[in-house]
Amino acid sequence: MTVETEQIVRSAEERSSDTEHDEGPSLIELDHIHKTYVMGDVNVHALRGVSLKVSPGEFVAIMGASGSGKSTMMNLIGCLDRPSKGRYVLDGVDVSSLSKDARADIRNRKVGFVFQGFNLLSRTSALENVELPMLYANVSSEDRHRIAREALHAVGLAGREANHPNQLSGGQQQRVAIARSLVNNPVLILADEPTGNLDSRTAVEVMDIFQRLNQESGITIVLVTHEHDIAEYAKRVVIFKDGKISKDYPVSVRRNAAEELKNLPVLVDDEDDEE
């Protein structure tokens, strides 16, 4: 952890103790966030004054057409970028103007990422892929092995620790990615189109994992998707349009992945008929 990050986190903890009797704080607080990209002589306004609060333990789906600003928003929430203007507070820490190194510290300690393309190292085992974030956190080898095995077990991959990505199905690779997102005990998981490359049953299996992590472990989840049926597994939907939030509403009839899996057939490949 950098000195800058230590000072910021300590200050946030002191503020938190001073307000512990107030109404619960937001985990994510975006206040009039703007993001402008300069492309030659043109300024591209990706976000135009977005304000959003997400409480600890929420499960939020973010939707919107291509170019709506949802991906830019995810990058900002995940501390991969910072706003051009506005204030962003993550778990009590104002990360709006932090340096690149300080954002990396915050990101590694507080945020887990899951991507559509899995982003696994192809020549590395499932166990080693899951251990990767802990290398940056200077966790001992013994603890890395133990925590990674526990994470793989939690997502249903016990016994697959030695398998490489090309020995795993798409759904299993996404489970490895989810396990990897858990090992540093994040307060937030950001999932970018996590079911985009999966068949229908496997997509429900992945959403079951997210729902269990949210309900049983209290992990806050923010998920980007273009599929309305996937958004219905969340508790709340936020829709972006033209760099702004156009709709923000609770899911009235929420889908239950665990119950749906009981009634879904296991997919098997058809065998070609022999001539």
Strand order, beta sheet including 236-241: 111-115, 188-192, 220-224, 59-64, 236-241, 244-250
Range from 102-111, 144-153, 203-212 carrying the lowest mean pLDDT: 102-111
CA atoms of 247 and 183, how far apart (whole Å): 33
pLDDT band at 6 (very low <50, low <70, confident <90, very high): low
pLDDT band at 275 (very low <50, low <70, confident <90, very high): very low
Q: How many helices (H) and strands (E) does the chain have?
A: 9, 10
Asked if the model's pLDDT at residue 118 lies above 90, the reply is: no
Amino acid at 263: N
Residue 115's SS3 state is: strand
Q: Domain spans of the chain?
A: 56-85+103-257
Q: Which residue has the tokens 């030659």?
A: 40
Q: Which CATH number fits domain 56-85+103-257: 3.30.365.10, 2.30.110.10, 3.90.1150.10, 3.40.50.300?
A: 3.40.50.300
pLDDT band at 242 (very low <50, low <70, confident <90, very high): very high
Would you say 83 and 151 are in contact if contact means Cβ atoms under 8 Å apart?
A: no
Amino acid at 64: G
CA atoms of 30 and 49, how far apart (whole Å): 9
**pLDDT per residue over 58-111, tens digit each?**
999 999 998 899 999 999 999 999 999 999 999 999 998 888 899 989 998 899
Per-residue pLDDT, 193: 92
Show the CA angle centred on residue 170, arms to residues 168 and 171, nearest 5°.
95
Six token digits for residue 262: 């009981």
Mean pLDDT of 128-143: 90
Greater model confidence, 23 or 89: 89
Q: Average pLDDT of the chain?
A: 88
Asked if the model's pLDDT at residue 56 lies above 80, the reply is: yes
For residue 122, the 8-state DSSP code is: T
Would you say 237 and 63 are in contact if contact means Cβ atoms under 8 Å apart?
A: yes
Asked if the model's pLDDT at residue 25 lies above 90, the reply is: no
For residue 68, the 8-state DSSP code is: S
Residue 29's SS3 state is: strand
* Residue 79, Ramachandran bin (φ over 0: left; ψ between -120 and 50: alpha; else beta): left
pLDDT band at 205 (very low <50, low <70, confident <90, very high): very high
CA atoms of 28 and 100, how far apart (whole Å): 19
Per-residue pLDDT, 164: 96
Asked if the model's pLDDT at residue 26 lies above 70, the reply is: yes
